[in-house]
Copies of this chain bind each other. A is one copy, B any other.
Amino acid sequence: MRATIRDVAREAGVSIATVSRVMRESDGVRAATRERVLDAARTLEFVPSHLGRQLAERRHAANGIVFPDLSGPYYAEVVLGYESVAGELGRSVLILSTRGRDDAEAAVEAMAERCDGLVILGRTVSNRTVERLAARGANIVLVARPPVGGVDSVTARNRGSARALTEHLLDLGARRLVFVGDPSTSPDVGERLRGVREALVPRSEVVIHHVDHLDEQAGARLVGDYLTRALPDAFVCANDELALGMLRRLRAAGVDIPGRVMVTGWDDVMAAEYAGLTTVRQPMRDLGATAARLLDELISGARAHPRHEVLPTELVIRSTTLGKDTP
C-alpha cells in the first residue's frame, strides 16, 4: 500500500496540515520541521495523490481536446501544438477522437466532467452540445469551427487565402473551375468556397462537386466522372487529401497537369510537397497552441469576454498549377 499524508505525518511526528504545507511548498513552516517531513516523505516514498488533491482543490489540472481523427496530418499537428503549450502550463491533456463513435456527444459530455476545460475541433459534436456544455459552465475553445454564442474560437484565415488562390488560377487563364468538397461538411470548407466565389465574380462561375468524405479515395473516385466528359480548367479541392487522390488518378490516366487541368489542395500536408501540389498552408501547430492559451485564460478566469482569433494562412504555389508538372 502506498503511503498517505497521514503516514508521513505520523512518521515525522507532525500533523497532516504540516505535511500538506511542506508538500505544497507553502511557507510558514520552520526549516527544521520541513526537513523532518521531507525525510519522512523520502523514507516512505510518499507521492501525494492527485485525486485527493484535485478533489480538495476542486480542479482537475487537466484539459481535453476533441478531434474527428488523427490520421491526416492536420489534426495531429493541432493536437501537438496544443499538448506542448498545455504541458508548459502544467496541465495534463485528455484526448477524444470521435471517428467511428456513435456516442460522440455523450463521450464529450463525459470528458467535460474530467477536465477544467475543453478544446473542440471541427465537426465533432453539434452546436447544441457545445451550447449545453457552455451553459453548464464548461470552459470551451472551438478550433476550425465557426463561433457559437459567447464561446471562444480559433480559426485559420480561409476566405482571404481562397481568394488569393483563385486569383492565382485566374491569372493563369483558368475560367471554368470545379470546387471539390461539400461546404456543408465543414465551416472551414464553406468559407473557402466563399473566398473562391468572391474572386470569381464577375469573371466566372464555379461548379461545386459534392463529396461526402474529404479523403484520397473520394478524390480518386470522382476523377472517373471527368475522364469521360470535359475537364474543367482547374479543380479546387477542399483539402490536400482529396487533391492527392485526384492527382494520382489523373496522372495515371495520362492527363497533363497543369496543362490540361490544374489542381489545388488545402493544408500543405507532407505529401503535398512530393506531389508538387499547389495548396494553402495552415498554421496547424499554432492553432493548437493558441487554443491552449485561450483555454488557460478562461480557466484561470483572467478574461471575461470571448475572443475569436483568426490566424494567417499562406498560398504555396507548386507544379500542379504553375510550370511543368513532373508526374
A residues adjacent to B (C-beta < 8 A)? 45, 47, 49-52, 54-55, 60, 62, 69-71, 73, 76-77, 79-80, 83-84, 87, 92-97, 99-101, 107, 111, 113-114, 136, 244, 248, 269-271, 273-275, 326-327
CA distance A55 to B55 in the complex (A): 8
Q: Is the CB of B92 within 8 A of A97?
A: no
CA distance A236 to B269 in the complex (A): 25
Known: A55-B55, A71-B77. A93 touches B94 (CB 8 A): yes
Q: Is the CB of A248 within 8 A of B270?
A: no
For A248, the closest partner residue in chain B by CB is B274
CB of A74 to closest CB in B, whole Å: 10
Q: Give the residues in chain B near A114, CB-CB below 8 Å.
A: 50, 62, 92
How many protomers of this protein does the assembly include? 2
Q: Give the residues in chain B near A49, CB-CB below 8 Å.
A: 55, 113
**Contact of A94 (CB < 8 Å), options: B62, B76, B100, B327:** B62
Q: Give the residues in chain B near A73, CB-CB below 8 Å.
A: 71, 73, 76
For A100, the closest partner residue in chain B by CB is B84
Q: Is the CB of A69 within 8 A of B80?
A: yes
Q: Give the residues in chain B near A93, CB-CB below 8 Å.
A: 94-96
Which of A97, A101, A248 has the most CB atoms of chain B within a 10 A radius of its CB?
A: A97
Q: Give the residues in chain B near A71, CB-CB below 8 Å.
A: 73, 76-77, 80
Q: Give the residues in chain B near A326, CB-CB below 8 Å.
A: 327
